[in-house]
Amino acid sequence: MDTGGDCSGGGGLEEEAARREREWEEVVEAVAYDSCTWPPPVVAVCGPGNSGKSAFCRLLLNTLIARYRKVGYLDIDVGQPEFTPPGFVSLHVLEEQAKDLTILYLRNPKRCFFFGDVCAKRNPKLLLTYIFDLYDYFLKEFYCFREVDNPEKSAIPLVINTSGWVKGTGFYVLTEMLKYVSPTHVIRVSTTVEHKNLPGGTFWMNQYDADPPINLVEIGAAHNSPRHLLVKKEAKITRDLRLMAYFRQCLPRDFNISCFDDLIRGFVSIHPFQLRLSKIHVIDLHRQVSGTDAHRFLSGTIIGMATSASPLLSIECSTPCCIGLVGVQVLSKLYIFQKTAFI
């Protein structure tokens, strides 16, 4: 039996994976330790879905944390966010490196908004408002230059994780974000399928605008990279796993779960708390719902919860920051909230 071709092919894939790994490591080292990266870098990582953006972001975060001790992470991918359940736009400040790049982590954000959808198509204007407000909050609280010698007040770098939807409305949201943020670095992840990739150059700028002072870096996608660099994600499965992991926090740590049915039984066993409709102000993010229809509209849904004390980040955004997700059942004029978990 002639196996030479198979061995050669396998060796070629391994060599390509090793080359891609070195390429990624060289790029993150350059971003983190380039002598010109003061003020600290603001890095947007862009590219089509399943190209390795999240994996690259993890490598970059680990390297930046080693240098700066703290790193901001603005996640604008509502479909497959890195540290929250789906439907969120969130800002994190990370201080610990990820020890295992294959594990999906849940982390508490500094600020977050619940967008309530897994893509921008229904309301791109609202999504951009959330993104801009969180970025402004980052500038105000974490990108300070008045106290350079104070580690608690000094500026920290920012990594922006973007959506893999790079056509149509997704492309519009990406270009508007890049114009507003004006990052120091844009990492363009490209696949071998050219029509799936973003345009080259400063594609977000208008034709007659002067090119901004920016570092544009193109890297190859990680489809053939080793497992510790990329876990290929099936979008729906990943979203379900994140929601289950999020609500799993409502159950005792020693609660034994060996299958999906165990998880359901655990959720059902949680004693719900109740609130009257008159005590709740319902904000539908994507359409107008009358007060008389609110109970029918909400029953059987997962909603984002906020309080009247939640801060508004700007006068342009009337939606308060989200403090967690709840599952809702409605009985007459009484809401019954179940499986509550707060961020």
pLDDT digit string (tens) for 224-261? 444 444 444 577 888 888 888 888 888 888 888 888 78
Whether 40 has a pLDDT exceeding 90, the answer reads yes
* CA–CA dist 276, 201 (Å, integer): 54
- Cα–Cα distance list, 337 to 165, 256, 274, 301 (Å): 33, 24, 6, 10
pTM: 0.84
Q: At the top level of CATH, which class does the domain 4-240 belong to?
A: alpha beta
pLDDT digit string (tens) for 157-204? 999 999 999 999 999 999 999 999 999 999 999 988 888 999 999 999
Going from N- to C-terminal start, the domains of the chain cover 4-240, 249-342
Q: What is the mean pLDDT of residues 117-138?
A: 93
Q: What is the pLDDT of residue 32?
A: 92
Q: Which residues of 266-275 are buried (b: 16+ CB within 10 A; e: fewer)?
A: bbeeeeeeee
pLDDT digit string (tens) for 129-163? 999 999 999 999 999 876 656 655 679 999 999 99
What's the whole-number average pLDDT of the chain? 81
Q: What is the pLDDT of residue 157?
A: 96
Q: What is the pLDDT of residue 276?
A: 75
E-strand stretches of 202-295? 215-220, 273-276
Handedness of CA 72, 132, 50, 242 (dihedral sign): positive
Q: What is the pLDDT of residue 131?
A: 96
Q: What is the pLDDT of residue 340?
A: 52
On whether the CB atoms of residues 48 and 197 are closer than 8 A, the answer is yes
Q: What is the pLDDT of residue 336?
A: 59
Q: What is the pLDDT of residue 295?
A: 65
pLDDT digit string (tens) for 319-340? 778 888 877 767 665 665 654 5
On whether the CB atoms of residues 48 and 61 are closer than 8 A, the answer is no
39-53, 97-111, 202-216, 234-248: range with highest mean pLDDT: 39-53
**Considering the chain, what percentage of its residues have pLDDT values greater than 90?**
41
Partner residues linked to 330 by β-bridges: 335
The Cα angle at residue 233 between residues 229 and 239, in degrees rounded to 5 = 130
Q: What is the pLDDT of residue 2?
A: 44
Q: What is the pLDDT of residue 36?
A: 65
Q: What is the pLDDT of residue 4?
A: 44
Per-residue confidence at 90, pLDDT binned at 50, 70, 90?
A: very high
Q: What is the pLDDT of residue 230?
A: 41
- Cα–Cα distance list, 182 to 29, 36, 44, 202, 284 (Å): 21, 17, 9, 11, 31
